[in-house]
Structures are given as C-alpha cells and as structure tokens.
C-alpha cells in the first residue's frame, strides 16, 4: 500500500484544517441539503401563503440574493401578521426577500412559479433594504395535493383525509370559487418550471385570498 504524505508549512496546517471543516459543514457540501421537519418549518414561520412570482427585484450581484414581487392567492397562516405597509396593488401582492440564501435548501424561483412560501416579516436589522418585506424562512414547496394537505395539517392540527375536504376539492373543480370579482391566476409562463409531472393541473382554480 502506497501512502501519500503531503507536506505543508506548519503555520498553514490550522488554516487548511479550518477550510476542510467549513467545506464539510456548508449546505449542499455533501451533495444533499438537510431540511428541517415540516412541523418545525411551519412553527418558525409566522406567515404561510401560496402565491405566484410576478417579478424579480433587488438582485445582489455579490451575494446572489434577490427579492420577488408575489401575487398572493391564499394565506394558510398569519394573514393578520402582514402589515398594511407590506401589501401592494390593492393588498393582493407582497415582496418576499431572501431568495438565493445558501442557508435555505430550495431557494430559487423564476417568474411565473407558483409555490408555498414560509416567511416572516423582515426584522429591523435588515432595514432599510428589506423594510416592509417578508423574508423567506425555509425552503419553497411545490403546489401538490399532498403538500397542501400536509401544510394544512401542521397549521390547523387536523388532517382532512377525504378528497372532498382537500384544498383542491374545495377550491378547485369540485366547488368552483371563481367570480367576476376574483382574479384567476395565469397558467405558468413559458420558461417557468410550472407543475411537475404528476402535479394536479387544476391549480389555477384554488388559492383565493380570503
């Protein structure tokens, strides 16, 4: 067996050791990004909402972070937490920051993407850059029947097992909620990730902002 021995000046050894430890502890360093349990993510987020990304804002070329203007379809939690100053365009839109944060596993979106967002009002130490914004607190979730039911279970503590009690049944084709006064979210724009194979295609009927 051949043993390779690397020779470095003694003063560099502590620095090299620090670099190795740091690389191993960075999110995604091992090829996977550990995600907190959904229950904990829901508890740590004061606001949980579904919405569609309409515009990318405030791109930081150094940190590679950015904010997004999001049309809100439904608040699953914490509607009363959102300050009036944070509501845009008649109260149907908010600005969410923190996209691209390396401490959050699924942190990237494109214009037209519809997701479940776990957010908190921006704390004062992030002002004025993010004043009146909501900040992403954990990974984004795609819109699926299972994801909606699991989030609802965490928020309300009850699980609606029959399909007719699910969001997609209440707010989808089972019990249409469309009225002339309620806008219907547009389908995913060309180039956006949109629904994955197997995701429901009736997503455009649910998620009304009560």
Is the Cβ–Cβ distance between 95 and 132 less than 8 Å? yes
C-alpha span between 127 and 118 (Å, rounded)? 20
C-alpha span between 65 and 126 (Å, rounded)? 14
pLDDT at 95 over 70: yes
* Percent of residues, the chain, with pLDDT higher than 90: 54
Q: Which residue has the higher pLDDT, 117 or 179?
A: 117
C-alpha span between 50 and 43 (Å, rounded)? 17
φ/ψ (deg, to 5) at 66: -160, 165
Instruction: Name the pLDDT band for 186 (thresholds 50, 70, 90).
Output: low
Q: Which residue has the higher pLDDT, 203 or 64?
A: 64
Three-point CA angle 22, 108, 79, nearest 5°:
110
| pLDDT tens readout for residues 138-184 | 999 999 999 999 999 999 875 444 443 444 444 433 333 333 344 55
Instruction: Specify the fold of 38-142.
Output: OB fold (Dihydrolipoamide Acetyltransferase, E2P) (2.40.50)
Residue 123, pLDDT score: 94
* Three-state SS at 147: helix
C-alpha span between 113 and 144 (Å, rounded)? 13
Spell out the domain ranges in the chain.
38-142
Kindly state the helix (H) or strand (E) to which residue 155 belongs, with its residue range. helix 145-156
Residue 190, pLDDT score: 45
Residue 161, pLDDT score: 41
């Amino acid at each position: 067996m051949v043993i390779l021995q690397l020779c470095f000046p003694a003063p560099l050894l502590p620095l090299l050791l620090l670099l190795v430890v740091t690389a191993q502890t960075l999110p995604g360093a091992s090829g996977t990004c550990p995600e907190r349990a959904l229950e904990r993510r829901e508890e740590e987020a004061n606001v949980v909402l579904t919405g569609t990304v309409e515009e990318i804002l405030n791109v930081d070329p150094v940190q590679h972070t950015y904010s997004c203007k999001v049309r809100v379809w439904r608040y699953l939690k914490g509607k009363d937490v959102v300050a009036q100053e944070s509501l845009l365009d008649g109260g149907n839109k908010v600005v969410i920051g923190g996209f691209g944060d390396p401490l959050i596993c699924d942190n990237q979106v494109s214009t037209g993407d519809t997701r479940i967002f776990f957010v908190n009002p921006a704390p004062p130490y992030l002002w004025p850059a993010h004043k009146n914004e909501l900040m992403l607190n954990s990974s984004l979730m795609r819109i699926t029947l299972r994801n909606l039911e699991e989030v609802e279970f965490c928020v309300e503590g009850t699980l609606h097992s029959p399909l007719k009690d699910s969001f997609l049944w209440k707010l989808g084709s089972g019990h249409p909620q469309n009225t002339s006064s309620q806008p219907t979210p547009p389908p995913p724009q060309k180039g956006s990730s949109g629904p994955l194979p197997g995701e429901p295609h009736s997503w455009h009927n649910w998620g009304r902002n009560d």
